[in-house]
Amino acid sequence: MVQFPVIADEGDHRDPARALDEPDHVVIRGRRIDLARLVSPRLFESAYRAELKATLQTAVPFRHLVVDGWFDPVLLELVREEFDSFGHERWRVIEDEHQLFHRSTTHESLGPASQIYFALINSGWFVSLLGELVDIDDLIGDPRLVGGGLHESRAGGKFAVHRDFDKHQLYGLENKMVFITYLNRDWNPEWGAALELWGTEPRECVRKIVPELGRSVLLINGPDSFHGHPEPMQCPPGQTRRSVASYYYRNPRAVQERLTRQTSVFLLAYRTKRLRRIVTQWTPPILLQAFKKILGR
């Protein structure tokens, strides 16, 4: 749950009328974020959304989007800072022959800017936006951020070309996509660690995406959606590759379940309906017809 800090930079004696005219905002570590500017206004333009949808449908080697400037850069800078205050015990090191990177272990201990970001991309309207782009009207976000959260690669880090998992490890829901936002300012491509999108016929890298601050990537999960940064990252001391990620899901039985859905059952109406059924079962038909005629009069 996002807990916004109390804004008290103007004291407790502000004119209430004036306060109502001020834009809603929060202050995190001395930096102001206007809530009305958390996302680009273009996201609410139908023409822009149609353009995104068309781009996604024709993308190669598999359906994906690469966009810049969707989120307030001040918010993203603050999220980036919070990696440094994320305690050592809260990182999980993922290391084997295929991968080496760090991932946050819990969503409960995220910093305030990170909480705002993840609350935003798992909000109803944002999930609906992503669902509109991929023609899934029952897309499901994951505020628990299983498999998502804060991701960081350090010197030597890598993530072999792979396809993402198929189901949520707790709920069994079908993994439909991942949404990633990068947090690295002035990234030098010579350091490596660009996100590579690979084709399967032939097996080769088709596109490289430099992980620059404010760049977001939507990857649709499918049988051919292979991606990664397979070569060990070569970067100077203290430099890391940072991103935030969240997965989105669908219940494959949703349509079937909706067909058998029950609406609310009201107690008094249920009792009346049950009594009517009992009377109908035990009263002779000739008496029922007589009662109906009397009530009809």
Q: Quote the percentage of the chain above a pLDDT of 90.
A: 67
Q: Domains in the chain: how many in total?
A: 1
pLDDT at 241 over 90: yes
Q: What is the pLDDT of residue 218?
A: 98
Q: So what's the pLDDT on residue 260?
A: 83
Tell me whether residue 245 is in a domain: yes
pLDDT at 259: 81
pLDDT, residue 277, reads 74
pLDDT band at 86 (very low <50, low <70, confident <90, very high): confident
Chain center to CA of 221: 14
The more confidently predicted of residues 239 and 10 is 239
Residue 204 covered by a domain: yes
Q: How confident is the model at residue 37, as a pLDDT? A: 94
Mean pLDDT of the chain: 88
In this prediction, residue 3 has a pLDDT band, given cuts at 50, 70 and 90, of: very low
Query: Residues 156-169: pLDDT tens digits?
Result: 999 999 999 999 99
Banded model confidence at residue 11, pLDDT cuts 50, 70, 90: very low
* Confidence band of 284 (pLDDT split at 50, 70, 90): confident
Instruction: Kindly state whether residue 189 falls inside one of the protein's structural domains.
Output: yes
Domain-embedded: residue 97: yes
Three-class HEC string of the chain: CCCCCCCCCCCCCCCHHHHHHCCCEEEECCEEEEHHHCECHHHHCHHHHHHHHHHHHHCCCCCEEEEECCECHHHHHHHHHHCCCCCHHHEEEEECCCEEEEEECCCCCCCHHHHHHHHHHCCHHHHHHHHHHHCCCCCECCCCCCCCEEEEECCCCEEEEECCCCECCCCCCEEEEEEEEECECCCCHHHCCCEEEEEECCEEEEEEECCECCEEEEEECCCCCEEEECCCCCCCCCCCEEEEEEEEEECCCHHHHHHCCCCCCCHHHHHHHHHHHHHHHHCCHHHHHHHHHHHHC
CATH number at residue 82: 2.60.120.620
Q: Is residue 133 part of a domain?
A: yes
Residue 6 within a domain: no
Res 95: pLDDT:
85
| Average pLDDT value for residue range 194-201 | 96
**Domain ranges, residue 172:** 38-256
The answer to whether residue 243 scores a pLDDT higher than 80 is yes
9, part of any domain: no
Asked if residue 129 is part of any domain, the answer here is: yes
> 168-172, 181-185, 280-284: lowest mean pLDDT where?
280-284
User: Is residue 100 over pLDDT 60?
Assistant: yes
Instruction: Point out which residues pair with 217 in neighbouring strands.
Output: 66, 180
